[in-house]
Amino acid sequence: MTHETGLLTRAVMSAAPAYRRLIWGLEALLPLFDLSVRLYLAHIFWKGGMVKLSSWMSTVMLFTMVYDVPLLPPEISAYLATAIELGGSFLLAIGLAGRWAALSLFGLNIVASISYGQLSEAALQEAFYWGILFLYFVLHGPGLLSADTLLRYLIRRRQSKRDAEEHLGEQTIAHSA
């Protein structure tokens, strides 16, 4: 019985580091995953905004006759949808104000799914998946490969430099007193 226990212990002891290395490797891929999903979603909604811009009269006509956007006049809805698609896509792609960009595109996705009554079941399913991905970024943020992370780093760096200068100034005053 001791021999079997020793064998099991050795197997677990050698498997645990391998498992840790595997998890570390998978976690190292998370920033690339975040970036690729952000770019995927941004591309889809950027193309939608560009199509709206390329034929503005058709876009306004669609918002007037086909889309049933609640509370807003059709032309305002068209402007707003296009601005959210283009602005939100750009911000999401670079990861600037990533949570807000994802939230605005999430909301647009919901309104588009509700207001266009002729969506097929497959299109509704696709919109549902996009919504889940947008929620991921609303809750998780845009990830390490983003402008948000770069700005946070620069702000912290400036703050720690300022703190170090203040600390040095306090020491200088204490020594001269």
Q: Is the pLDDT confidence value at 5 over 90?
A: no
93, 140 contact by CB (below 8 A): no
Residue with token string 């698609």: 85
The mean pLDDT of 73-91, rounded to a whole number, is 97
Over residues 94-132, the pLDDT tens digits come to 999 999 999 999 999 999 999 888 889 999 999 999 999
Q: How many CB atoms lie within 10 A of CB 95?
A: 26
Burial class (CB in 10 A: 0-12, 13-18, 19+), 100: middle
Burial class (CB in 10 A: 0-12, 13-18, 19+), 57: exposed
Q: What is the pLDDT of residue 2?
A: 53
Q: Is the pLDDT confidence value at 80 over 80?
A: yes
Higher per-residue pLDDT: 1 or 59: 59
Over residues 140-165, the pLDDT tens digits come to 999 999 999 999 999 999 999 988 88
For residue 55, what is the DSSP state?
T
Higher per-residue pLDDT: 29 or 170: 29
Exposure on the CB side of residue 22, measured as CA atoms within 13 A: 5
Higher per-residue pLDDT: 14 or 91: 91
Of 94, 112, 92, 113, the C-alpha closest to 102 is 92
Q: What is the pLDDT of residue 64?
A: 94
For residue 69, what is the DSSP state?
-
Over residues 12-64, the pLDDT tens digits come to 888 889 899 999 999 999 999 999 999 999 999 999 999 999 999 999 999 99
Question: Backbone phi, then psi, for 141, in 5-degree steps?
Answer: 90, 175
pTM for the full predicted model: 0.84
Q: What is the pLDDT of residue 14?
A: 86
